[in-house]
Chains A and B, each alone.
Chain A
Amino acid sequence: MTTCVKGWRGRGRYVSGASLLLGLLILNPATVMGQERVEERHPLRGDGRLEVEVVSHSVRVHGWDREEVQLTGTLDPATQRLEISGSDEELHIRVVHERGSRSGHAGELELHVPSGARLGVGTVSGSAWLEGVTGEVHGATTSGSLELLGSTPSHVTMATVSGSIRVEATSPDLRLTTVSGAISATGATGRAELTTVSGGVRLEAAAPLEQVRVNSVSGPAEVRGPLAERGVVEVESHSGSIRLGIPPDTPADFEVNTFSGAIRNELTGDEPSSPRFGPGRSLNFRTGDGSIRIRLRTFSGQVTLEPSGGGDR
């Protein structure tokens, strides 16, 4: 879908009118200059989709029980135009900067959105903060941070390059990726996939985890919490350490391997072993019926297994 664009300083131009055919098209007559205030209201269905794209603005999103989006805040001086388009099923909000422009004063946008809406928030250097949402959440920034708090989203995907990701929300499906930023996620309940190069990763379960995958290159990774029956935990790192904390009575089949790192097992009395010749250490053992599958692997990082709180498995 394309968007009718209205600019300022004489830069206005029309890209396409296709969205006119798709539903309600909202021109933004209140395009503002400098760090001006913006205040907009647009209808959006409870299960509608909202996409927000900004450059350096910080974005705060609150879920509410109305079927409309309220946008307030300030646009920074580098803003070329604000575009709002779409319909009550799918709404797009985009703040466009002049190419290469920088502003010392980042703008701030605050949105109230239907709590069940499917949300997509993208920034370059701005940070995004979301609370009280229950639909899908997709967040992406380059250097900004992403935070999701006090929510119960059905699905969360977040990605940053250098920014950090913090999730304190109950969700059955988390997919979080950073390059150098840190990831902290508490409240996972089902499936979680966390990926980093050098940032630290910490995942703490609110309820038994069904499927956990963590990949790191040099960042340390920590997974803590109860695991669901027939759950699967796979954590891999090159040089980063891996720490797994689970209830001591977890019935699991463990395979722990490292090429040149160390393995510490504080969970049971099982000891790691080395092949008679060549490098590597491994620790394979089984507790209970072994129905949960645990695979931990590092190249040179240390792996630690330790007991953690029970939970309600």
Chain B
Amino acid sequence: MTERRGSTGAGDPEPGPHLHDELLGELLDGDLDPDARLQAEDHLAECPQCQRAYSELVDLGHQARALPQEIQPTRDLWPGIQAEVRRRRPWVTWGYGLAAAGIAALILGTVFFSPWGHEMAEMESPPEDPASTTFVAQVREVEEAYEPTIQELRLLVEDQELAPETREVLEESLAVIEEAIREAAAALEEDPGSPQALHGLRRMYDAKVEVLRLVAGRSSSI
């Protein structure tokens, strides 16, 4: 957890082993558990060297955030690119539609886990359109990362004797999440490079997992 930091001044006291950079980063990000955080803060309060390192880390973050997050072109290039792509490949629009339909089905948790799912998804993903491919790949990656856990939890929940009103709340809540997933996926389709949309999509899958986990845990604990 700690390391020796290079001496930066003869007058510095030595309050113990120093905090290493990763730990300082976790402290800054708020990722430490309460005990580790307290321990780190106690050390930080007494150690000028680690204080300096921490300040540098804070400043570095500020500087990084001050940089432009993206470089904008001088004009909007996408309409021209889109028009050209569509002119060359008339099926692209249809491909988007199919991809969207695939995503909707995927979100419902059927396509990639049914015997015909893989084949259909492969057939319907337009491989030569970069934006669409990125979009489908991004959504598929997220979905594939979460779906096994979701399916497992679904089975656990199905096995439970839930009161009808609880099941209703669960289904309503999952519907809210799935609507949010559709919105995030649609945003990702519009803007395949959008970190916000991708983040939103992942978060909603997280939420779905957490809700199922909560209900599965709740109903099986009594």
Question: Quick one: closest B residue to A212, CB to CB?
Answer: B30
Nearest Cβ in chain B — how far from A194, in angstroms? 13
Contacts A143-B169, A299-B184 known; list 12 others, CB within 8 Å: A124-B163, A143-B166, A191-B34, A197-B211, A198-B176, A217-B176, A257-B196, A259-B200, A276-B72, A290-B62, A297-B199, A299-B197
| CA–CA, A173 and B37, complex, Å | 13
Stretch at the interface among A14-22, A37-45, A79-87, A230-238: A230-238
Chain A CB within 8 A of B145 CB: no
Chain A CB within 8 A of B128 CB: no
- Chain A residues contacting B221 (CB-CB under 8 Å) are 53, 122, 140
| CA–CA, A238 and B185, complex, Å | 13
Pick the contact of A293 from B30, B70, B187, B199 — CB < 8 Å?
A: B30
| CA–CA, A5 and B115, complex, Å | 47
Chain B CB within 8 A of A3 CB: no
Given A162-B169, A276-B72, verify A142-B163 contact (CB < 8 Å): yes
**Complex contact B169–A180 (CB within 8 A):** yes
Stretch at the interface among A66-74, A264-272, A279-287: A279-287
Chain B CB within 8 A of A4 CB: no
Chain B CB within 8 A of A125 CB: yes
Nearest Cβ in chain B — how far from A157, in angstroms? 12
Question: Quick one: closest A residue to B29, CB to CB?
Answer: A232
| CA–CA, A197 and B180, complex, Å | 11
Interface SS of chain B? helix
**Complex contact B30–A55 (CB within 8 A):** no
Given A161-B214, A278-B194, A293-B30, verify A300-B163 contact (CB < 8 Å): no
Chain A CB within 8 A of B10 CB: no
Q: What would 8 A/B residue contacts be, using CB atoms closer than 8 Å?
A: A124-B218, A142-B218, A161-B166, A172-B34, A179-B173, A255-B65, A279-B194, A300-B183
Question: Quick one: closest B residue to A278, CB to CB?
Answer: B191
Chain B CB within 8 A of A302 CB: no
Question: Quick one: closest B residue to A100, CB to CB?
Answer: B161
Complex interface residues of chain B between 95 and 109 (CB less than 8 A to chain A):
none
- Residues of B whose CB lies within 8 Å of any CB of A are 27-30, 34, 37, 41, 58, 61-62, 65, 69-70, 72-73, 76, 78, 161-163, 165-166, 169-170, 172-173, 176-177, 180, 183-184, 187, 190-191, 194, 196-197, 199-200, 203-204, 207, 210-211, 214-215, 217-219, 221-222
Query: Number of contacting residues on A, CB 8 A?
Result: 57
Inter-chain residue pair count (beta carbon < 8 A) = 137
Given A140-B218, A162-B165, A179-B215, verify A195-B28 contact (CB < 8 Å): no
| CA–CA, A286 and B177, complex, Å | 33
| CA–CA, A300 and B39, complex, Å | 39
Question: Quick one: closest A residue to B172, CB to CB?
Answer: A180
| CA–CA, A83 and B166, complex, Å | 26
| CA–CA, A140 and B172, complex, Å | 20
Nearest Cβ in chain B — how far from A84, in angstroms? 16
| CA–CA, A177 and B215, complex, Å | 11
Complex interface residues of chain A between 173 and 208 (CB less than 8 A to chain B):
173, 177, 179-180, 190-191, 195, 197-198
Question: Quick one: closest A residue to B219, CB to CB?
Answer: A142
Chain B CB within 8 A of A215 CB: yes
Given A142-B163, A161-B218, verify A217-B207 contact (CB < 8 Å): yes
Question: Quick one: closest B residue to A254, CB to CB?
Answer: B65
**Complex contact A259–B34 (CB within 8 A):** no
